[in-house]
Structure 1
Amino acid sequence: MSTSQLQTGYQTELADFRVTFSRGGAYTAIVLVLLGVGLDYAQYPHLQTSFAVARLLVSLLIGGIVLMLGSALGRRLTPWLTLSWLLLPQAMISWMIWQTDGVQSPYYMGLNLAIFASGIALPFGLWQNLVFGVLSCCLYLLACLLPPHGGAPIGTMTVNVLLLLFAAAASAVYTFFNERVRFMLFRLKAEVSEKNAELEAINRKLLDIKGQLLQQEKMAAVGTLAAGLLHEINNPVNFCLMAIEVALEEPVAKTEAALQECLVDARHGMQRIQHIVSDLKTFAYRKPGAEVEAGTPFLFEKALDSAIRLIAHELRGVAVTRELPADTLVQGDEAAIIGVLINLLSNSVLAMRNAGTSGPAIHISVKWSGERLHVTVRDNGPGIADEYLARVFEPFFTTRDVGQGLGLGLSISYAVIERHGGLLYAESELGGWAAFSFDLSRAP
C-alpha cells in the first residue's frame, strides 16, 4: 500500500474515530455538568438556581452539537465542533468563577479537568488542543479581572494561569503522541491485512497447483491407458472398416438403401471407436485453446442424423425435435462431433429418466451467426443445480452413482469443441430444463 493510500485510509478511519469519541465525550460532559449541581449545593446554595439553569442550558447546547455530528457537514467539522462543545463548559465554569470568589473559587479545577481530558481522552489535533488551552486561560483571566474582582491576588492568579498553560502544553504533547500511536496502529493493521491477503492469494495458488498436479497424474494415467487401447483396438477396427468399405462397393449394397444405410452406420460406429480412444489420449495431453489443425468439410445435419441413429435405443420414448438451417456445411472432425452429440443426447436422456420426467423431450436448435454454426441441445429434464453447473466440465466430476460413469464425457466433449476453435457451455433452470451449446466454423 502506497503512502498516499495509507494516509487516505487513515484519515477516513480517523474521521469515524473522531465522531465516535466526540459523541461519547459530549455525553460524558453533559453528565458531569449536570452532576455539578451537588458542588453548587455544597459551596454556594444561594446561587444554586441560577447555576442549575446555566448547567441545563449548556447541556442542551452540547446535545445540539451532538446532533450536528451525525450530518455529513458535522462529520467534516468534527474537531471544531468538539472544540465548541468543550468551550461551552469552560465558559460556564468561568462565569461561575466570576459569580463566586474569582481567583479563590473552587470551580477553577474544572478548567484543568477539561484541558487534561481534551488531550488524553479526545481525538483532538495538536493545534486545536493548543487553541483550547489558550482560550481556557483567557476565559479564566476575564473571570478573575472583571469587576468586582479587579483586585484579585496577582500571585495566586499567575500561578493558576501558569498551571492552566502547563496543562494545555501537557495535553498538546499527549495529543501529538496519541496521534502518532493511532497512525502507527493503523499502519500495522493495514500491513497485517495486506499480508493476510497475500497469504490467502498464495494459499489459493498452492491449492490450484495441487489440483493441477493431481489432474496431471490422472490425465497421464488416462493417456497411458488410451495409448494401449489405441494400439490393441486399431487393428481389428481397421479390418472391420476395410470389410465395410468392400461391402459398400458391392452391387447389392448400392441397390438396397436400407443395407447401405446399415453399413454406413456400422462404419460410423467403427470410426467412433477409433475416435473415442484417440480423444481420450488427446484429452490427456491436450493444449487448451488449440484449434483443429486439420479438418474436412462435413454436413452437420448428417452428423446429427448419425448420432441420433447410433443411440436410437436410448432415445426410445423421448421426443426429439430439430431446427436446422438449409446449409450446415462446417469444418472439422465429423466423427469427433458425432461423439460430442452422442454424449450430450445420452446425458439428457439419462437425467430425464432418473428424474422420471413426464413427456421427456429434446430440442436441437442449429443456426448461423456470422461464420459460426451455433448448436444447442436442450431438454425438459430436472435441470442442473447451481453448485454443479460450474463444474460439469471438470474431469472426473460426476453426480452419478458409483460405477455409473467416470465423469469424463463432458470433459472430452469440451476438449473436442475447444480444438475446433469453439466453446461448449451449459445453461439450466433447476426443475425446468438444461441446455448445452457449442459452435463450429463454417467450411471454406
Structure 2
Amino acid sequence: MTTSPLQSGYQTELADFRVTFSRGGACTAIALVLLGVGLDYAQYPQYQTSFALARLLVSLMIGGIVALLDTDMGRRLTPWLTLSWLLLPQAMISWMIWRTDGVLSPYYMGLNLAIFASGIALPFGLWQNLVFGVLSCFLYLLACLLPPHGGVPLGTMTVNVLLLLFAAAASAVYTFFNERVRFMLFRLKAEVSEKNAEVSAKNAELEVINRQLLDIKGQLLQQEKMAAIGTLAAGLLHEVNNPVNFCLMAIEVALEEPISKKEPTLQECLVDARQGMQRIQHIVSDLKTFAYRKPGAEAELGTPFLFEKALDSAIRLVGHELRGVTVTRELPADTLVQGDEAAIIGVLINLLSNAVLAMRKAGTPAPAIHVNVRWTEERLHVTVKDNGPGIAPENIARVFEPFFTTREVGQGLGLGLSISYAVIERHGGLLFAESELGSWAAFSFDLSPAP
C-alpha cells in the first residue's frame, strides 16, 4: 500500500516527536524515582536502604534505555523502548507493594500516576497504552497475591484493579485523541506551508510582471520621446532647409564673384560658411533619419543600409559630447547590412554617450573611443571600446537590466542599454559587454549582411 506524502511527512515528524518526549519523560521519571526516597523515609523507614538501592538501579536502567534512543535502531523502536522504561518503575513499585503491605500499600498510587502520565504526556500509540495498562494491573495482582501476604481483602484489591483498568482505558482514549489532534495540527501546518509556497510563487510572478510592466512603461516613454524628437526633426528639416538652401545659393554666388576670388581671406570665410551650412543640413537629416519613423517601421528589418553611414550619423549627432574625445575607427570596405538604420543609429548614440559620460565622470586623461568593425562568419561584428574606468564585476552582468543605472538620481533612467539590447536582439544579434576595471570597457554586437 502506497503512503501519501502527507502521511510520510507526518510519520517522520512523529518519530522526532516521540524521541524527544520519550527522552524528556525518561529524565522526569528518573527524577521522580530518586525523589521517592522521601516517601520511603516517611512511610517505611525500615526498608529505606533496600528501596534506595532499587531506585538507583531502576534509574540507571532507564538511563541505559534512553541512550539507545540516539541510535538508528532505537529511533525505529522508540514506542517500545518507551514502554520498556515505563515498566521499570511499575515493576519497582509492585515489588515495593509486595515487600510492604500488599493491597493496603500506599505505593499503589504510583501505578495509577504512571498510567495517566503515559496517556497524557507521552506520544504512545493506542495499543501500546493498553498493553502498558494491562501489564501494570498484572504486576499489581502478583504483588498482592504472592506470599507472604495472606488474607487478602478481595474487595479492596478488586476496586484497585478496576481503578487501574479504568485509568488504562482513559489513557488509551487520551492517546487516541491526542494522536488525532497531532495529525490535524500537522496537516494544518502542511496546508499553511503549501499556501505560503503558493503565495511566494504568486509574489514572484507578480514581481516578474511588475518588472516587465516597468520595462514596457520605460520603452513607451522612450518611444514617446523619440516620436517628439521625430516631429521636431521633421519641422526643423522643413523650416531650416529653405533658409539654409538660400544661404548656400548666396555663398555659391559670392564665391564666383571676382572680388572674392581676388581676396583669399574672403574666399576662405565663404568656404567655411558653406561647410557650416552643409553641416546643418547633415545634422537635421541625421536627426530625421534617427528619430522619425513611419508606423510599422520597427518591423521592417530587411532594409539595406551602409553601417558606415549610420556610424557617421551617430558621431555627428553626439558631436557636442565628443569634444575632447579622440574617436578612431577601423572599418572594412563593405559595410552593407540590413535592418532598421534609425534603430542602429540609436544604439550607437547610446554606446558613444555612455562611454563619454563614464570617461568624463572618472576624469580619464586623453579619453579615446575606438570603433572596430569586421566581417566574421558572414556577420558584421561591431565593437565600441573606450579607455575609461571600466565596469565593476558585480555590475557587468546587470548593465542590460531595465532601470539599472550607476548614475546619480535624475541623471538617467537606466533604459538605454536595455532598449539597445532589445534592438540588437530584434535584429538577430547579441549585444554584450566586456571590461577590465580601471582600464577599458567594450560593447559588441553583430548585424546581418544585406542579401
Q: Does 1:416 align with 2:430?
A: no
Structure 1 residues 264 and 419, CA gap change in structure 2 (3 angstroms): farther
Query: CA, structure 1 residues 71+359, in 2 after alignment: closer, same or farther (shift >3 Å)?
Result: farther
Higher radius of gyration, 1 or 2: 2
For residues 267-309 of structure 1, give each alpha carbon's deviation from its aligned partner in whole angstroms, at most 9, with x where no partner exists. Answer: 9866652454258998xx98xxxx864243766x887788678
User: Greater CA deviation, 154-163 or 216-225?
Assistant: 216-225
- Offset from partner CA, 1:392-432 (integer Å, 9 cap, x none): 5315x544335533443223212211211334455778778
String of CA shifts for 1:308-344, please: whole Å, max 9, x gaps: 787676385679898x999988653455334324422
| Letter aligned with residue 146 of structure 2 | L
Shift of the alpha carbon at 1:25? 1.4
Aligned AA (2:391): G
Aligned partners of 1:145 and 1:151 also within 8 Å:
no
1:117-156 matches, cutoff 5 A: 117-149=117-149, 152-156=152-156
Contact 2:374-2:380 within 8 A present in 1 as well:
yes
Deviation at 1:156, TM superposition (A): 3.0
Q: Which moved more, 1:133-142 or 1:311-320?
A: 311-320
Q: Which residue of 2 aligns with 1:176?
A: 176
- Compared with structure 1, are the counterparts of its residues 202 and 44 closer, same or farther at alpha carbon in structure 2 (3 Å cutoff)? same
Counterparts of 1:362 and 1:303, CA distance in 2: 17
Which amino acid is the alignment partner of residue 157 of structure 1? M
Task: Specify which of 338, 341, 358 is matched with residue 351 of structure 1.
Answer: 358
Partner of 2:258: none
For residue 401 of structure 1, the aligned residue among 401, 405, 408 is: 408
Counterpart in the other structure of 1:277:
291
1:296 pairs, out of 297, 304, 313, with: 304
The SS at the match of 2:4 is helix
Check if 1:23 corresponds to 2:23.
Answer: yes
Change (3 A) 1:366 1:130: farther
Verify the 8 A CA contact 1:381 1:433 in the aligned structure 2. yes
Identity %: 69
Unaligned runs of 5+ in 1: 244-261
> Does the CA-based 8 Å contact 2:219-2:419 persist in structure 1?
no
Superposed CA offset, 1:191-246 (max 9, x none): 33333444444455556656666665665554444334323423655997xx9xxx
CA distance in 2, matches of 1:213, 1:265: 41
| Deviating more after overlay: 135-144 vs 205-214 | 205-214
Aligned to 2:79: 79
Shift in Å at residue 31 of structure 1? Answer: 1.1
Q: 1:353 to 1:228 in 2, by over 3 A?
A: closer
Match of 2:8 in 1: 8
Note the 1:52-131 alignment, pairs <5 A: 52-131=52-131
Cα RMSD over matched residues? 4.7
Find the counterpart in structure 1 of residue 347 from structure 2: 340
TM-score (norm 1): 0.74
Residue matched to 1:33? 33
How high is the TM-score relative to the length of structure 2? 0.73
User: Residue 155 of structure 1 aligns to a residue in which SS?
Assistant: helix
